[in-house]
Amino acid sequence: MAWFLGLGITGVVLLALSLIFDGLLEGAFDGALDGVLEGWLSLPVVAGFVAMTGFAGALALGTGGTGPAGAAGVGAVAGMGAAWLTYRFSRALMHDRTAATPRADDLLGTSGRVVTAIPVDGFGEVLLRLAGQPLKCAARSAQPVARGTEVWVEAVPTGTSVVVRPVDR
């Protein structure tokens, strides 16, 4: 029983170390296996296998239904199940992507309204919408533009300023 409990505790310690040294085993075998064991040889998967093998083996041995060989078999099956679940869970977490973050270049070609008049060779302010959110930017134009005029964004020199022209209807 002590061997199985030792395996279980070792697995828990490995799991704690995997939080600190994430990617250690993947880095050690980087490129050597060409992705054959991609994700399977990660420290959390190994830790899950070792911990569940130990604790399930100790439980099987402690209930008295099996001998050491049977407990090792029960532990190995439970360990493989825990390793598979850990692998699937970590893959699901790694592939959980969020939507693309809007960039300043996404303002190009959008329309908005002038909130502060744009003088010749000077800056005014326009209110645009980026990903559905209102965004107030400094704006320049080749011609003076009055407040309230609808404008198109022709260029985005910086993340907070745009070059606009009035919309002709």
Q: What share of the chain is helix, strand, coil (3-state, %, to 5)?
A: 45, 20, 35
* Shared domain check, 21 and 56: yes
In this structure, the answer to whether residues 50 and 6 fall within a common structural domain is yes
Pair 89, 110 in one domain: no
Q: Over the Cα atoms of the chain, what is R_g? A: 30
The pTM score is: 0.51
Do residues 89 and 112 share a domain?
no
Q: Quick one: tokens of 72? A: 């090792």
Contact (CB, 8 A) for 156 and 113 = no
The pLDDT score that the predictor gives to residue 17 is: 82
Final residue of a structural domain among 95, 126, 150: 95
Structural domain count of the chain: 2
Q: How far is it between the farthest Cα atoms of the chain?
A: 90
Which residues constitute the domain of residue 73?
Answer: 1-95
pLDDT digits (tens, 9 = 90+) for 54-82: 999 999 888 877 888 888 898 999 999 99
Residue 76 and residue 146 in one domain: no
Q: Within this chain, do residues 65 and 135 fall inside the same structural domain, yes or no?
A: no
The series of mean pLDDT values per 10 residues for the chain, 169 residues long, is 89 83 63 56 82 91 85 91 88 78 84 94 91 90 94 91 90
Residue 162's CATH number: 2.40.50.140
26-39 pLDDT tens trace:
666 565 555 555 65
Decide: helix, strand or coil at residue 129: strand
62 plus 141 within the same structural domain: no
Whether residues 11 and 73 share a domain: the answer is yes
Res 77: pLDDT: 93
Q: What is the pLDDT of residue 14?
A: 83
